[in-house]
Amino acid sequence: MDITSLIIAPLVTATVISFLAAPVMIRLANIFGLIDDPKVNKHPKVIHTVPTARGGGGGIFISILITTLLFLPIDGHLKGILAGALLITVLGLLDDKYDLNPYVRLVTQIIAAACPIIAGIGIAYITNPLGGIIDFSDPRVSFFMLGEVRTLWIISDVVALVWIVTLMNFLNMGAKGVAGQLSGVVAIAAIIIAMLSLQFSADIAEWSVTILASILAGAFLGFLPWHVEPQKIMPSFSGSNLAGYLLGVLSILTTTKIGTLSVVLAIPLIDTTYTIIGRILKGKSPVWGDRGHLHHRLLDRGWSTTKIAYFYWVVTMALGFAALHLNTYAKLTTIGLLAIGLLVFLIWIQLTKK
């Protein structure tokens, strides 16, 4: 297959559908009361100043679902991926309406992440930065179910579950703080995965990964015009979790390139790690939001929301292209240096705060 069939056609189709679905979701949000009014929701993390529609993840999911059905054959893996995506979207829309307890959301996230794992998607191994591989394929447990023998790869499945759930939560906390931030970051990350899987296009099994990554990129690109300042609709919990979920699954399917995606998303991942540690050290719950993220601190320094969004896009793009050319050791070194650099920057912001 050529690049038009693998990337351009699914990306453009998903972009158009997502762009057309967003105003429909805005109308539905107004009908069903999925509106975030800053005068009512006075949480410290709230940045927007006018009532804004929630539920953007619903339109993004519709785009992904329709485009996937148009471009990919439905097999067992895809059924598991779409089942988890549907569950995440429903959870997100309910959260947009009722502000669910974080622990209820966490349990549902685990169930959703288990859907592709049950369908056979797991992390059998990862590359050891010091050489060789780290094998997660043993121990295995075989059992008879639904007329056939099935095998549970215990460590492989647990590692995959932790990775997907972690990515959902870290993107939700660290990459959707300001208008346009999440949509741009996810679109760029998905395009990087598509480009990475394209390098293995000689393997026919990678074609579906390239197409699905392109669909994810298109779905968020189509949503982006409605999400940038002045935003008309937010991706909200459904959108950020759908992004983390699908990026996590795709990074596993792309010859287990967890390190590559970790570099691409290094800033929100490291920032969220620091924020969680800070909450714990202050005796607060790690799952309840505050104004401790990097984007909040940049706002407090006088940065506009648009400037912050551009900053995240540019950094994500730069790290993405760099990650395509780094070996495993270099990826680990890059993440370490970024972690140190971001920590120094956050300390400097705190010390120079007016």
Residues 107-116 have pLDDT tens digits of: 999 999 999 9
Give pLDDT, residue 353: 75
Q: Higher pLDDT residue, 279 or 1? A: 279
Q: How far apart are CA 329 and CA 37, in angstroms?
A: 46
* 81 within a domain of the structure (yes/no): yes
Q: How far apart are CA 277 and CA 342, in angstroms?
A: 14
Arithmetic mean of pLDDT, 221-235 = 95
Of 9-23, 151-165, 215-229, where does mean pLDDT reach its minimum?
151-165
Question: What's the Cα-to-Cα distance from 277 to each of 173, 282, 285, rounded to whole Å?
Answer: 13, 9, 10
Q: How far apart are CA 294 and CA 314, in angstroms?
A: 15
Arithmetic mean of pLDDT, 48-64 = 92
Give pLDDT, residue 37: 82
Give pLDDT, residue 293: 87
Helix axes 207-227, 181-198, angle to 10 degrees: 160
pLDDT band at 332 (very low <50, low <70, confident <90, very high): very high
Percent of the chain, pLDDT > 90?
64
Q: How far apart are CA 216 and CA 253, in angstroms?
A: 14
pLDDT band at 292 (very low <50, low <70, confident <90, very high): confident
* 217 within a domain of the structure (yes/no): yes
Question: Of how many residues is the chain composed?
Answer: 354
Q: Higher pLDDT residue, 151 or 309? A: 309
Give pLDDT, residue 202: 63
The β-bridge partners of 125 are 135
Arithmetic mean of pLDDT, 184-213 = 89
Q: Residue type at 213? A: A
DSSP for 4-57 reads: IIIIIHHHHHHHHHHHHHHHHHHHHHHHHT-EE-TTT---TT----S-EE--HH
Question: What's the Cα-to-Cα distance from 229 to each of 41, 276, 304, 313, rounded to whole Å?
Answer: 20, 28, 10, 15
* 342 within a domain of the structure (yes/no): no
* 94 within a domain of the structure (yes/no): yes
pLDDT of 351 over the 70 cut: yes
In the structure encoding, which two tokens stand for residue 270, read together?
Answer: 């490291």
Confirm if 221 and 183 have CB atoms less than 8 A apart: yes
CA 35 to chain CA centroid, Å, is: 23
Q: How far apart are CA 242 and CA 315, in angstroms?
A: 22
* 56 within a domain of the structure (yes/no): yes
pLDDT band at 212 (very low <50, low <70, confident <90, very high): very high
pLDDT band at 59 (very low <50, low <70, confident <90, very high): very high
* 338 within a domain of the structure (yes/no): no
Query: Could you tell me the residue range of the domain that residue 187 belongs to?
Result: 3-256
Q: Higher pLDDT residue, 10 or 97? A: 10
Q: How far apart are CA 35 and CA 91, in angstroms?
A: 16
Residue whose C-alpha is closest to residue 10's, from 238, 172, 197: 197
Reduced to 3 states (helix: H, G, I; strand: E, B; else coil), residue 184 is helix
Q: Higher pLDDT residue, 50 or 210? A: 210
Give pLDDT, residue 256: 66
Residue whose C-alpha is closest to residue 163's, from 94, 248, 262, 228: 248
Give pLDDT, residue 174: 86
pLDDT of 181 over the 80 cut: yes
Arithmetic mean of pLDDT, 6-26 = 97
pLDDT of 46 over the 70 cut: no
* 142 within a domain of the structure (yes/no): yes
* 303 within a domain of the structure (yes/no): no
Q: Residue type at 31? A: I
In the structure encoding, which two tokens stand for residue 317, read together?
Answer: 């793009």
pLDDT of 196 over the 80 cut: yes
Give pLDDT, residue 99: 86
Of 82-96, 163-177, 217-231, 285-299, where does mean pLDDT reach its minimum?
285-299
115-171, pLDDT tens digit by residue?
999 888 999 888 888 788 888 988 888 877 656 777 788 999 999 999 999 999 999
Task: Domain count for the chain, please give it.
Answer: 1
The average confidence (pLDDT) of the chain is 90
